[in-house]
Amino acid sequence: MNKNEPRKGASRAADIPADVLQALSNGELQSATLTEILALDQTQLLRTVFPSLSSAAQTAAETASQFGILKRMTGIGAILLDELGAAGIDTCSAHHSDTVRGWACFMIGSQSGLDLSARLAAIQPLADDAHFGVREWAWLGVRPYLIKELDTAISLLAAWTTSPSERLRRFASEALRPRGVWCAHIRTLKQDPELALPILSPLRADPSKYVQDSVANWLNDAAKDQPAWVRKLCAQWLQGEPPPATYRICQRALRNLK
């Protein structure tokens, strides 16, 4: 197996070749699918990347690895931050393995003494990572802090909607989905989704399908609790001669409404 050679990742854990799983768990290969992310051995990866970790940290990581993927990533991120300090974030952020870079996201999420602006500045390079998995870990890693300071988060992320990077524009929307995947819901936005318009409105005609899908999914989330509001918003966005991107967003946003 050539680790630099493109491959089609397995869609079932049982279909991952043993040499690929070994390379993933050794940090030699980036995951190609969510299945591979879930299947790799994070304790083996941790021992390989940081062989000098204390025995207490390794034991704690083994315990964390028994939980679901989000608690696993959160736990190992906290362990690494405690062991390595802030310097460990740079080490993990520069690693070839997407999972190790994912740990950096949760280290930033666990780091104390950061205001929300500084936390978002720290996560930005990882939110713009070339790997799909790291980009997901980026918003998951800081989402609890965004929820705690929701008004400030919306204001700060509204500025990201003008970024040249589609990945950062998508982060602005995805990070505050009312019913985000694998994470706690945001009750305030379920009750009052209009609060997020400073983020959603600038993205309503975004040229990137990556961003369009996130905005549509945001509104689809909101439609589960506030269907009338989503219908009204889409009707407003579709007035006149809106671009095809807006049609696509609204069509997908309303897909579960009769």
Per-residue pLDDT band for 2 (boundaries 50, 70, 90) equals very low
> Are the CB atoms for 13 and 38 separated by under 8 Å?
yes
pLDDT in tens, 126-148: 999 999 999 999 999 999 999 99
With CA atoms as reference, report the closest residue to 109 among 144, 147, 57, 71: 144
Give the chain's domains with CATH numbers.
15-148 (no CATH), 162-174+187-258 (1.25.40.290)
> For the whole model, what pTM was predicted?
0.92
DSSP H/E element including 194 = none
Residues sharing a CB contact under 8 Å with residue 78, sequence separation 6 or more, in sequence order: 106, 107, 110
Region of residue 113 (phi > 0: left; psi between -120 and 50: alpha; otherwise: beta):
left
With a cut of 70, say whether residue 3 has pLDDT above it.
no
